Copies of this chain bind each other. A is one copy, B any other.
Amino acid sequence: MSKERVRQNVVLAEPVLRRNEDLAAALRARYDAGGTTTLNFLSSPGSGKTTLISDTLRRLQGKLRCAVIVGDLATDNDARRMQGNGAPVYQIQTGDICHLDARMVDDALGEIGSDPVDLLIIENVGNLVCPAAYSLGEHERVALLSVTEGEDKPAKYPTLFKTAGIVLVTKIDMAEAAGFDDAAALDTIRSVAPQARILSVSARTGEGMDDWIDLLIELAQRRVCEDVD
């Protein structure tokens, strides 16, 4: 049953995905030419992307020049929540579309302006499935898994986690209240996404945030060095 449906959907989606890949490659070249490290944040709705990014921007002030593009079906709630941290924030409203694509990001870059950016953070639509199929030309995907979602999510949504360079376990201040099994979650992440660096953080208490900020600075500096080489 599902095989037939998979084929049908792939046929429909192929031209769209191919066009997206072409534009994503052009975006990647543009990021590299500007010395910009670009991260694509993906997760379920409500796993803490916006809170984490707000706190990240605050901590990176004076260290990296950041910009944010955030996608939601409706509202500009997230952009408003992230403002005031020294970085331009551009909200994309996708209507009924379940993911960001390279065209939307290309248009948003035109709105953000031409000031140099060391770190471009793209907060995708909250969705563990569809955004995984659309490259935005990013250097790394950051997949979030909050402790309230259950330890088996990476196994149930493998496509996304398999493509993540970084997995962040979020809201760890709530681990006890959620009955979160840390060891089981790490086992699942490692089995599905052996390529990923794994960090555990709480934007609310600050736990793990220093390591996360160090990693971002390292990623941004490595890109600058690669460009110099």
Contacts and interface: CB of A to CB of B under 8 A. Distances in A.
Q: State the number of copies, please.
A: 2
B177 A98 contact: no
Contacts of A95: 2-3, 5-6
A101 interface: yes
A92 interface: yes
A8 interface: yes
B128 A126 contact: yes
Interface in A36-69: 44-47
A172 to B, nearest CB: 12
A47 to B, nearest CB: 8
Interface residues of A, number: 53
Between A45, A107, A157, the greatest number of chain B beta carbons within 10 A of the residue's beta carbon is seen for A45
Interface in A136-177: 146, 148-150, 152-153, 155-159, 171, 174, 177
A112 interface: no
